[in-house]
Amino acid sequence: MWLSLVGILVLLTWLVLGTRAFLGLVRSVDLPHTPSAHISAPSHGLGAVSGSLDSASVPKVSVILSAKNEALALPKTLASLRAQTWPKLEVIAVNDRSTDQTGKVLDEAKSDWPELQVIDIKDLPAGWLGKNHALYKASKQARGEWLLFTDADVTFSNDAVASAMHHVLESHRDHLALAPNLVAKGFWLSAVVYLFLYNIVMVFRPQDAERPKSSAFVGIGAFNLIRKATYEAVGGHKAVALRPDEDLALGASIKRAGFHQQFAGGTKLLQVEWYPSLSEMARGLEKNALAPFQYRFSYFTLGVLMLLLVYDGPFLGAVFATGWIRFLFALAFVIELCMFHLTRRYSGVSVLWGLTLPLAAPVLFFILVRSALLCLRRGGIEWRGTFYSLRDLRKGVR
């Protein structure tokens, strides 16, 4: 009796998840490369952007990145930003209290690239997370009409900024978040990373952020392109000063304020190695595993139990159940794989990785539970060498 009830629950859950996510995924956009020829000699301005843009009147874009102990990744990122085809671009790099050679790397880059702006931060004010403070400080110096917040380990194609800017100008967006091509080495790391992203798309539905009546919102640290007037209107990073998931929190503020945002595939335009290993992913998620649950352990417990039920239940039931109950689980598993196929526009990975979801779910479960227990034992999180108490983090959520 209990197994039939579980089968019905699992199937209904996937029917609800699939129904809610389907239309947004079908309408989702994967940004193509924009030929440099689209930025040309003077035209008639940007009122109705189509075809070529006037290189003399295009809006300026300020690319802002914060680096702490990123000496190894920075050179490749800076080189890809220097090669951008967008005609009006400034790059502001913040050295946020690094203890490695990050400062030296930035100084050497600036000696060969005088236009590069470098900000050195030595101290962190109270009431701020380090990255949030660094990005906010750089935003005050930025002169662009658009701000592109990114990370120090992202590699861009030469036309990444141009492609994104053409899109936001043509579609009249205020905020565009692009999903990068995530480079993951090894079977287990790849499986867990792809499950993590799949779960975000299915549960939080960032693909629906462009719908004004939807509660969904979006924000991606690797590529958050925001109109500066919009950024300032919602208070910028100062409004999310204590959020370790500042990219999502900023996106939520933009959506609540009624601005137009969009989530799109950017796998052809940028790539990032999110974590070099599974153990690094476990350590990296220590800082924000509880953030989506408002640092409430009751919400977290329900969420991670549903993670196992939703992603392991269909496969296990299809294998071990019998009769019509097996059919319920098998149908849920088919829906799970079909929806994974639809999310490939954001991930760019083979649909066969959908078969690894039941294997990855217990691993991600362990990583998230470990992060929560560490947070509980420490009474908070440690990020970029600074400790933040649960009390302050919950205050930041409010």
pLDDT band at 331 (very low <50, low <70, confident <90, very high): very high
- Cα separation, 147 vs 35, whole angstroms: 22
Q: What's the pLDDT at 249?
A: 94
Q: Is the pLDDT of residue 52 over 70?
A: no
How many other CB atoms are there within 10 angstroms of residue 3's CB atom? 15
Q: Which helix (H) or strand (E) holds 204?
A: none
Angle value at C-alpha 391, between 386 and 395, nearest 5 degrees:
100
Token digits of residue 276: 């070099």
What is the enclosing helix (H) or strand (E) of 348? Answer: none
- Residue 97 amino acid letter: R
Domains of the chain by residue range: 2-24+287-397, 29-284
Average pLDDT over residues 66-75: 95
Within 8 A by CB and 6+ apart from 301, the residues are none
Task: Tell me the pLDDT band of 46, cut-offs 50, 70 and 90.
Answer: very low
* Nearest residue to 372 via CA among 299, 311, 267: 299
Comparing 31-45, 61-75, 197-211, 232-246, the range with the smallest average pLDDT is: 31-45
* Mean pLDDT of all residues belonging to the chain: 91
Q: Per-residue pLDDT for 19 more than 50?
A: yes
What does the pLDDT read at residue 358?
96
Res 39: pLDDT: 53
Rounded to an integer, what distance in angstroms lies between the CA atom of residue 327 and that of residue 340?
A: 20
Q: Which CATH number fits domain 29-284: 3.40.50.720, 3.90.550.10, 3.40.50.300, 2.40.50.140?
A: 3.90.550.10
Tokens of 342: 């639809």
pLDDT at 42 over 50: no
What's the pLDDT score for residue 44? 34
The predicted-structure confidence for 90-102, as pLDDT tens digits, reads as follows 999 999 999 999 9
Res 45: pLDDT: 37
Tens of pLDDT, residues 232-277: 999 999 999 999 899 999 999 999 999 999 999 999 999 999 899 9
β-strand partners of 91:
63
Q: How many alpha carbons fall within 13 Å on the CB side of residue 257?
A: 20
**CA atoms of 177 and 217, how far apart (whole Å):** 10
In the chain, where do the E strands start and end? 29-30, 39-40, 53-54, 61-67, 89-96, 117-121, 146-151, 154-156, 175-179, 181-182, 224-227, 261-265, 270-272, 380-383, 386-389
Q: In the chain, what percentage of residues exceed pLDDT 70?
A: 94
**80 has pLDDT over 80:** yes
Q: Which of 3-17, 45-59, 61-75 has the lowest mean pLDDT?
A: 45-59
Q: Across residues 314-337, what is the average pLDDT?
A: 95
Distance, CA of 209 to CA of 256 (rounded, Å): 11
Cβ density class 120-152: b for 16+ within 10 Å, e for less: ebeebeeebbbbbbbbbbbbeebebebbbbbbb
Give the closest residue to 176 by CA, choosing from 100, 242, 265, 88: 265
pLDDT of residue 120: 96
Weakest-pLDDT range from 40-44, 61-65, 107-111, 124-128: 40-44
Using the Cα atoms of residue 375, residue 376, residue 377 and residue 380 in order, give the sign of their dihedral.
positive
- With contact defined as beta carbons under 8 Å apart, do 177 and 263 qualify? yes
Compute the distance between CA of residue 310 and CA of residue 17 in angstroms, rounded to an integer.
10
Mean pLDDT of 106-130: 95
The pLDDT tens digits of the residues spanning 135-180 come to 999 999 999 999 999 999 999 999 999 999 999 999 999 999 999 9
Mean pLDDT score, 310-320:
95
Which residues are paired to 204 by β-bridges?
none
Q: What is the pTM of this model?
A: 0.89
- Residue 24 is predicted with a pLDDT of 92
For residues 165 and 86, what is the distance between their CA atoms, to the nearest angstrom? Answer: 9
Average pLDDT over residues 14-29: 93
d(CA 128, CA 131): 8
Residue 2 pLDDT level (bands cut at 50, 70, 90): confident
Mean local confidence (pLDDT), 324-329: 94
